[in-house]
Structures are given as C-alpha cells and as structure tokens.
Amino acid sequence: MKITTGMLDRKITLQSRSTTRLAGGSLQESWTDDATVWAHLAKLDGEESMDGPEVRHLADAVFVIRSRAVAAGDTRVKYRGEIYEVQGAVELQLDERFSRYRFIKLTCNHIES
C-alpha cells in the first residue's frame, strides 16, 4: 500500500525513555513527551504467527509517521490514552529526489492504559 500524507489522520505522541540517578544512587526511569505527530493507523488488533509449534504475538498496533529518528525499545507511542511500546521501526517509500525515506512504520505492542 502506498502511503500519502493525506492518510496521516491520527494524532499520536512519541515518548522517549530517560534515566535519572537518585541521591541514594539508584536509577529512576521516566518517559518524556518528545513530539506530537500525525500518523496513519494501519492496524490496531492482536496478530499472531505460527513459528513451528509456537504461536508468536506480532503486534497490537502499526502506526505510520513521517520520517524521523525513532529508536525501538527507547520509544513509546501514546494514542487515545493508551501506551504502546515500539518494537520495530522500518523506513518506507524512498523519495529518490532527496535520497531519503518519507515514512516510518512503527510496529507496537500495547503495554498500559
């Protein structure tokens, strides 16, 4: 499926992980809102795959956003009050005029409400 900017019809918030060392020396993890961006919601339901005798959970949601730096594992998506952990980020649709990708597909798993 070819993605166009007109298909980016949902607002999501990208969050990044930050770690702070507390006075006692322990580490505290927190999440900071980085950006609110327009996205295309390609899929929002559980998907499973048979991998031999095992069933693997693939994704709860797939969001497509304009190209930007996203680190899987250190980025979360907040959408409609739900939190999704980014499991993978794949670049889509190479724009040959500028030698860069136009969109990123974020494969996510739901982690909290």
pLDDT over 50 (residue 55)? no
Question: What tens digit of pLDDT does each residue of 28-39 get?
Answer: 989 999 999 999
Q: Which domains, from first to last, does the chain contain?
A: 6-112 (2.40.10.270)
Predicted pLDDT of residue 25: 86
Total-model pTM: 0.77
CA distances (Å), origin 40, targets 13, 30, 32, 53, 97 = 13, 27, 22, 34, 23
Q: Tell the burial category of 77 from Cβ atoms under 10 Å away from its Cβ (0-12, 13-18, 19+).
A: buried
